[in-house]
Structure formats: structure tokens, C-alpha cells
């Protein structure tokens, strides 16, 4: 009886933990919020379109243009870009600057190409 109660408590704890966002999986992107990454120090931070001075549904070019060269909250360097979420490991990374690098690009977290099979 005691063992069953203990298991039930553990399961309940895990469920609560997950609901609070404590799991290792990143939560889905919220609307109007952009995940940015600093090319210098790798700091990942979130910013809203509003804080960037953009309208609610900016086109991607306007967004990239605004997002490039914003001051990083950690190192202060203006070398930030909109991050890309790796489809393999789910972690955000800075996309390659040059499209010709995409073929050989590897995710810095899982070391696999996010775009190749
Ligand atoms: Zn930085
Ligand atoms: Zn990855």
C-alpha cells in the first residue's frame, strides 16, 4: 500500500513538473515572440515584435533586417539574428550567414545537418 502511494505521488509530481514547463522540451513558440540568438556569445533570448518596433505580422525580410544587429543582452555586441530551431534536437541556433554554407551546415548542439537526411 505504501509503495503504491509513493508511486502515485511521483507520477503526480512529474505531471505537475511538465505542466510548469519543467520538461527538457522547449515550449512552442508564442505568437508575436521571436527567439533571437547572438552570434558572438550564443546567448538565446526572446523579444516581441512590438519591442522590435514591428507590426504584429511582419514579413520575414523586415523581421530579419530588424533582428540583425540588435544589441545582445549578455555581451552587448550587435551581432544577433533570428534563431532557427533545429528540427532534430529542438534547440535554437544561429543560421549560416551565407546560403552556400547551408549544405555543409551542422547544428551546434546535435552536430547533424538540420536540413539533410
Ligand atoms: Zn552576445
Ligand atoms: Zn540539433
Q: What is the pLDDT of residues 10-56, one digit of tens each?
A: 666 556 666 555 445 555 667 889 999 999 999 999 999 888 888 88
Ligand with smallest separation from the Cα of 115: 2
Query: Ligand 2 (ion): which residues have CB within 5 A?
Result: 86, 88-89, 107, 109-110
In a domain, residue 85? The reply is yes
Domain harbouring 72, CATH code: 2.20.28.10
pLDDT on residue 29: 64
Q: Which residues pair with 85 in a beta bridge?
A: 92
The three cell numbers of residue 3 are 509503495
Sheet strands (E) in the chain: 33-38, 44-48, 80-82, 84-85, 92-93
**Domain-embedded: residue 115:** no
For residue 99, the CA-to-ligand 1 centroid distance in Å is 23
Q: pTM higher than 0.75, yes or no?
A: no
Question: For the chain, what is the domain count?
Answer: 1
pLDDT band at 100 (very low <50, low <70, confident <90, very high): confident
| 63-92 mean pLDDT | 92
* Number of neighbouring beta carbons within 10 Å of residue 80: 25
Amino acid at each position: 500500500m505504501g509503495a503504491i502511494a509513493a508511486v502515485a505521488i511521483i507520477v503526480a509530481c512529474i505531471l505537475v513538473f511538465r505542466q510548469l514547463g519543467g520538461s527538457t522540451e522547449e515550449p512552442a513558440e508564442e505568437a508575436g515572440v521571436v527567439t533571437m540568438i547572438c552570434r558572438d556569445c550564443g546567448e538565446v533570448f526572446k523579444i516581441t515584435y512590438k519591442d522590435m518596433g514591428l507590426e504584429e505580422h511582419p514579413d520575414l525580410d523586415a523581421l530579419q533586417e530588424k533582428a540583425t544587429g540588435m544589441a545582445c543582452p549578455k555581451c552587448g555586441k550587435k551581432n544577433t539574428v533570428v534563431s532557427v530551431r533545429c528540427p532534430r534536437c529542438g534547440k535554437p541556433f544561429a543560421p549560416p550567414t551565407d546560403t552556400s554554407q547551408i549544405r555543409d551546415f551542422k547544428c551546434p548542439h546535435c552536430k547533424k545537418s538540420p536540413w539533410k537526411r
